[in-house]
Chains A and B, each alone.
Chain A
Amino acid sequence: MRASERAFGVCAVVTGLLTGSLVLSSPTWAKTHDVAMTAIETDVVVEGNGEKYAAWTFNGTVPGPVVRVTEGDTINFTLTNPATNKNPHAMDFHAAEIDFLKNYRAINAGETISFTFVAKKPGIFFYHCGAPPMIQHVARGMFGAIIVDPKNSKAWAKADREYVLVQSEFFKNPDDVQAMFDRKYDNVLFNGGIFKYHPFVTGGGKLDAKPGERVRIYFVNAGPNEFSSFHPIGEIWDNVYESGNPINKLTGVQTYVVGPGSAATFDVVVESAGAYPLVTHSLTGALRGAIAVLLVSPDAKPAPLMPMVPWVLPAK
């Protein structure tokens, strides 16, 4: 064997070992996140006059906290169901690909459950309680959103401003499970409130943006039953990404249907100052609460991902 052939062989072996180690081990960019949530059965404000509702929640708010990780990250999740609660609770992450029997089982009051998953696919995903009757646990507020950012940040246009909106149905009697099965909802909510982002309604706020900004809406439909036909009044979605994955890109969309338990990411670039209501164009839902006004003004201030969660009203 000539020296050059020996050198080639050594290089091939070294390259193979390096490649193998890269494939087998965690990618260098990946992080591990410890995410802990507590099931809290508590009253929350649901409308602008301060009316409260006996909700079941993750961490005391409806929706629960936004979890945000990057594609490839590992999540070590722990759910605590305090002994002070009266009901079993559970957690089901749509961003995870793991055995549901073992990981998504309901735990009784006083118990804790932990599981681990890797967020392999980028997007916006639903999470919710899966304890029976699941329809009631979702209707009473045990849901939220997890954003898995793409590991390649250039996979889509950079957003100037981001919001998370979670749509859900509201049943004024939290114990009437039959009404939930019969789809007899009373209102439709964005981020747990009736007209929470409607400035022309008592107690209502708004979503802010500046002219020319790319506003990215991470939209989740918690249901439990109704479809959302998400539409920006006075605008057209520049892009819609099914499940929030940059690969699933649509362009120039007027409305986009998001079913219960699903999610999508919506980009809009508003050129002129003014009001642009974001609604479900299923009008019985919009006119009973699911209207969020995007108010575009040069004076717009920075805002959190989920403004007004929890909904704190001025003291009476």
Chain B
Amino acid sequence: MGRSTDGWVALLNEQDDEHLARGYTIMLNVALAVFALFTTLCTVTLLSHSPASASAPKERIALMLSGLRCREVQQTLETALRQTDGVFAVDGSSVPEHLLIDVEEGKTSAKDILTVAQTTLGIARSCQVELMQSCITASTHIGAPAPAR
């Protein structure tokens, strides 16, 4: 059955020096590989659960609010949007009856943000929310061609 510690020592003592060195090298490589794999997995996991990355390109999504109860529910709406994955910031004061939401480009979409807003407001909505689209909706990238609308 199992060997005692002394037995392993005895076995090791039987190896010649070259064999011993090769064994240590293999063990060290395996340990390093396991450590690297573990570190990578941790990093990926952390990133997938962290808020929007500060250095990632941002995109601004504008929601238009209309209805008698919008002022009452705006704070709730802003809080829900701030807690949404990929959202950097929510500005509810710069433009009346609008929310300006800065998101990480590619991590969430205007449609996702609209869904979060509509879900937060519930089915019987006395405050309507929709995506702001107008003749001044424009592309933001340097050198990007004008959008075809």
**Cβ of A293: which chain B residues have Cβ within 8 Å of it?**
136
Chain A residues with Cβ under 8 A from B95's Cβ?
199-200, 206, 275, 295
Query: Is the beta-carbon distance between A201 and B94 smaller than 8 angstroms?
Result: no
CB pair B60 A204 closer than 8 Å: yes
Query: Does A291 reach chain B (CB closer than 8 Å)?
Result: yes
User: Which of A186, A202, A297 sits near B59, CB closer than 8 Å?
Assistant: A202
With a CB–CB cut-off of 8 A, which chain A residues contact B47? none
How many A residues have CB within 8 A of the partner chain?
36
B138 and A49 contacting across the interface, CB-CB below 8 Å: no
A198 touches B146 (CB 8 A): no
Chain A residues whose C-beta falls within 8 Å of the C-beta of B58 in the assembled complex: 48-49, 202-203
Interface assignment of B123: CB less than 8 Å from any CB of chain A: no
Within 8 A of A (CB), among B72-87: none
Q: Does B137 contact A (CB under 8 A)?
A: yes
B96 and A297 contacting across the interface, CB-CB below 8 Å:
yes
Bound Cα distance from A240 to B100, whole angstroms? 33
CB distance from A312 to the nearest CB of B (A): 16
Which of B57, B132, B137 is in CB contact (< 8 Å) with A49? B57
Query: Chain B interface residue count: which class?
Result: 20 to 34
Q: How far is the CA of A46 from the CA of B142 in the complex (A)?
A: 9
Q: Most A CB atoms within 10 A — which of B95, B102, B137?
A: B95
Of B57, B135, B137, B143, the residue contacting A187 (CB under 8 A) is: B143
Q: Please report the C-alpha to C-alpha distance between residue A316 and residue B89 in the assembled complex, in whole angstroms.
A: 12
CB–CB B138/A291 < 8 A: yes
Contact of B146 among A204, A277, A283 (CB under 8 A): A283
Q: How far is the CA of A201 from the CA of B101 in the complex (A)?
A: 10
Partner of A194 from the list B55, B100, B132, B142 (CB cut-off 8 Å) is B142
Q: Does B122 contact A (CB under 8 A)?
A: no
On whether the beta carbons of B143 and A284 are closer than 8 Å, the reply is no
Interchain nearest-CB distance for A140 vs B (Å): 15
18 CB < 8 A contacts A-B: A48-B58, A48-B60, A170-B142, A172-B142, A187-B143, A195-B138, A198-B136, A199-B94, A200-B132, A201-B60, A202-B58, A284-B146, A287-B139, A287-B146, A287-B147, A288-B138, A288-B146, A289-B138
B interface with A by C-beta (< 8 Å): 54-55, 57-60, 62, 94-96, 98, 100, 102, 132, 135-140, 142-147
